[in-house]
Amino acid sequence: LVVSTMKIFPLLVGLTCIISSSALSVNRRLYLLKQTGCIATLATTTTAVATRSAHAADVKSRTDGYAIQHTDREWAYILSGPQYNILRQGGTERQKASILHTFTMANVGTYTCAGCATPLFSSEDKFSSGTGWPSFSSALPGVEVEELDPVRATLDGREVRCSSCGGHLGDLFNDGWIYRGSSAAKTGKRYCIDGAALVFKPEGGGEDVFGDDPPPNRVIKYEQSMYRDS
């Protein structure tokens, strides 16, 4: 099995491992796993694949039950292509593709939903994870986190959405303790967020910064979701 993925820091550092299963076409979540040389046992991998596949069929609707409602056609009109890909289709942007990846705590303000302007993250909780995606140690009340049992939440991570419109934002991982000296080390959490799902609003006013803008001299490329259905 070749694990081809993105967006996970080694959650199982120190475990003896071997990943082997063609079913792991799944995902961005294990991107850094192969870079660290850490591999899960075959039994653990097989179980994770099975539970992930079963869970995929039970994914919560991104429309039903949310306060802000639009038809799919309306969302496609309201949002830019990259925003629609992330928020409504559960897509994933490439590493270091968003200008917001370059922002630090020094950029004081609030990160809001690109679909409905709900406040999601504070600049106080932003930290550098080295993963290539905007990362936060905590979230504001406007963020909804997928409910999973502790084992699956640790192995797989949990989907993060806007609680107002249901837009996909990224994933929450329980590996914050790895980032010593950061705010994530205190919370034990790493919110790994797609920049295109966000709009940064500077404190005290100023021009909004849209996360679907790339850093200078870089072009954003997107891929379809490999594990979420809209």
pLDDT value at residue 216: 75
Question: How confident is the model at residue 134, as a pLDDT?
Answer: 96
Q: How far apart are CA 157 and CA 187, in angstroms?
A: 15
**Per-residue pLDDT at 155:** 84
Q: Which has more confidence, 121 or 2?
A: 121
75 versus 42: the higher-pLDDT residue is 75
> Beta-carbon neighbour count of residue 73 at 10 Å?
8
pLDDT over 50 (residue 94): yes
Higher-confidence residue: 31 or 79? 79
Helix (H, G, I), strand (E, B) or coil at 30: helix
In this prediction, residue 160 carries a pLDDT of 97
pLDDT grade, residue 39 (50/70/90)?
Answer: very low
The Cα 47–Cα 63 span in angstroms is 30
The pLDDT-based confidence of 227 (bands split at 50, 70, 90) is: very low
Q: What is the mean pLDDT of residues 65-88?
A: 96
pLDDT of residue 218: 57
Active site amino acids: 192
Half-sphere exposure of 186 (CA within 13 A, CB side): 9
Highest averaged pLDDT of the listed ranges 59-63, 144-148, 214-218: 144-148
- Residue 62's pLDDT is what? 87
Average pLDDT of the chain, as a whole number: 77
Query: 60 by DSSP, 3-state: which?
Result: coil
Backbone angles phi and psi of 76, in degrees to 5: -65, -30
- Are 18 and 34 in contact by the 8 Å Cβ rule? The answer is no
pLDDT at 47 over 60: no
- In this prediction, residue 101 carries a pLDDT of 92
How far apart (Å, rounded) are the C-alpha atoms in residues 81 and 151? 35
Q: Per residue in 122-151, pLDDT tens?
A: 999 999 999 999 999 999 999 999 998 888
pLDDT at 168 over 60: yes
Are 162 and 116 spatial neighbours (Cβ–Cβ below 8 Å)? yes
